[in-house]
Amino acid sequence: MVLEFEKPIADLEQKLQEMKELATGRNIDLSSDIESLEDKILALKKETFQNLTRWQRVQLSRHAERPYALDYIYEMTNDFVELHGDRNVADDKAMVGGLGDLDGRSVMFIGQQKGRNTKQRQLRNFGMANPEGYRKALRLMKMAEKFGKPIVTLIDTPGAFPGLEAEERGQGEAIARNIKEMFMLKVPVICIIIGEGASGGALGIAIGDRVLMLENAWYSVISPENCSTILWRSWDYKEQAAEALKLTAIDMQGNGLVDGIIPEPLGGAHKDMKKMAVTLKEAILAALKELDKIKPEKRIDQRIDKFCSMGVVVE
């Protein structure tokens, strides 16, 4: 999958591949030309990805090959054991969680999971959790607190499922309860937006001591398309909406809404998933090392103060 703004890079990479095949097939020395073209491609990549618009970052966050929560969890941990069900209604496949060994330490991982193909997307409900998904997440958080295990949440959702049946089962209440309970958890809580972070669907697992974002993720009260539909009655203004929403990692950090940005490989996380997983793991371990030094009561106070200080009130 090649995004529109990546096409000039893809064209040069195609020429590079053809040049290498020609050199090999005809035994011609084109090493200097190949090296020159490789340098040109690298320079173009740096220029392109350092100057992405907000809408282009949204597109990158949704790339079909971008790693999802379980990809990172299995790559970062040993002996991950997925836990299921909210012990009330069902097991929501859009919300996943379980215990995994992170460099010798047991950590509770919770995240929203999307699918790669049509069947998986239907199974995972496109990463949009129902109330039972948020209740499952809360059950796992309480379990982690009971046994003194830190919690890491991986956020990647276009929003909580907006269907009638979700509302009937208390979607708003489930998210609100998660927000309330997460403020009071005694164990360290690290929240990371790895892709899309939309509305209360993201916030339902995003109250933590440290909130981090991947470089090409986005975090907002609404998606650019839905914002465009509300304001202009059309999806055609989604790029303008993305600019107005200021939803990128740089925007979020500048407004004090996230604590840090995790860099991605050049071209996006999907270009080198293993490298991205290593970077993500290092960020989690560094945050845990920092949080372990703080007493639980103080962590809770700092967590509450951090979120209460967000925003500007004009009277």
Q: Are 288 and 188 in contact (CB under 8 A)?
A: yes
Question: How far apart (Å, rounded) are the C-alpha atoms in residues 299 and 259?
Answer: 15
Nearest to 101 by CA among 142, 149, 154, 148: 149
Q: For tokens 């959790």, name the residue.
A: 129
Domain identity same for 21 and 141: no
Domain identity same for 95 and 29: no
Nearest to 220 by CA among 312, 157, 304: 157
Domain identity same for 47 and 152: no
- The pLDDT assigned to 22 comes to 84
- The pLDDT assigned to 41 comes to 93
The answer to whether residue 88 is domain-embedded is yes
Query: What is the residue range of 34's domain?
Result: 4-51
The answer to whether residue 152 is domain-embedded is yes
Domain identity same for 117 and 11: no
CATH classification of the domain holding 237: 3.90.226.10
DSSP symbols for 161-179:
---HHHHHTTHHHHHHHHH
The answer to whether residue 315 is domain-embedded is no
- The pLDDT assigned to 21 comes to 86
The answer to whether residue 283 is domain-embedded is yes
The answer to whether residue 114 is domain-embedded is yes
- Amino acid letter for position 71: D
- The pLDDT assigned to 129 comes to 97
Q: Are 299 and 96 in contact (CB under 8 A)?
A: no
Q: Are 108 and 144 in contact (CB under 8 A)?
A: yes
Domain identity same for 105 and 125: yes
Element (H, E) at 211: strand 210-214
Domain identity same for 79 and 188: yes
Task: Specify the pairing of strand 95-102 against strand 78-82.
Answer: antiparallel
- The pLDDT assigned to 271 comes to 95
Phi-psi region of 40 (alpha: psi -120 to 50; beta: other; left: phi over 0): alpha
Domain identity same for 83 and 158: yes
- The pLDDT assigned to 88 comes to 92
Domain count, the chain: 2
Question: How far apart (Å, rounded) are the C-alpha atoms in residues 263 and 216?
Answer: 8
- For residues 158-197, one letter each, b for 16 or more C-beta atoms within 10 angstroms of the residue's C-beta and e for the rest, the string is bbbbeeeebeebbbeebbebbbeebeebebbbbbbbbbbb
- The pLDDT assigned to 33 comes to 85
The answer to whether residue 230 is domain-embedded is yes
The answer to whether residue 314 is domain-embedded is no
Domain identity same for 14 and 90: no
* Phi, psi for residue 272 in degrees, rounded to 5: -155, 80
Question: How far apart (Å, rounded) are the C-alpha atoms in residues 225 and 240?
Answer: 10
Domain identity same for 97 and 34: no
- Amino acid letter for position 187: V
Domain identity same for 103 and 9: no
The answer to whether residue 104 is domain-embedded is yes
Domain identity same for 220 and 126: yes
Domain identity same for 45 and 168: no
Per-residue pLDDT of the chain (315 residues; tens, 9 = 90+): 899 999 999 999 999 998 888 878 787 877 888 899 999 999 999 999 999 999 999 999 999 999 999 999 999 999 999 999 999 999 999 999 999 999 999 999 999 999 999 999 999 999 999 999 999 999 999 999 999 999 999 999 999 999 999 999 999 999 999 999 999 999 999 999 999 999 999 999 999 999 999 999 999 999 999 999 999 999 999 999 999 999 999 999 999 999 999 999 999 999 999 999 999 999 999 999 999 999 999 999 999 999 999 987 776
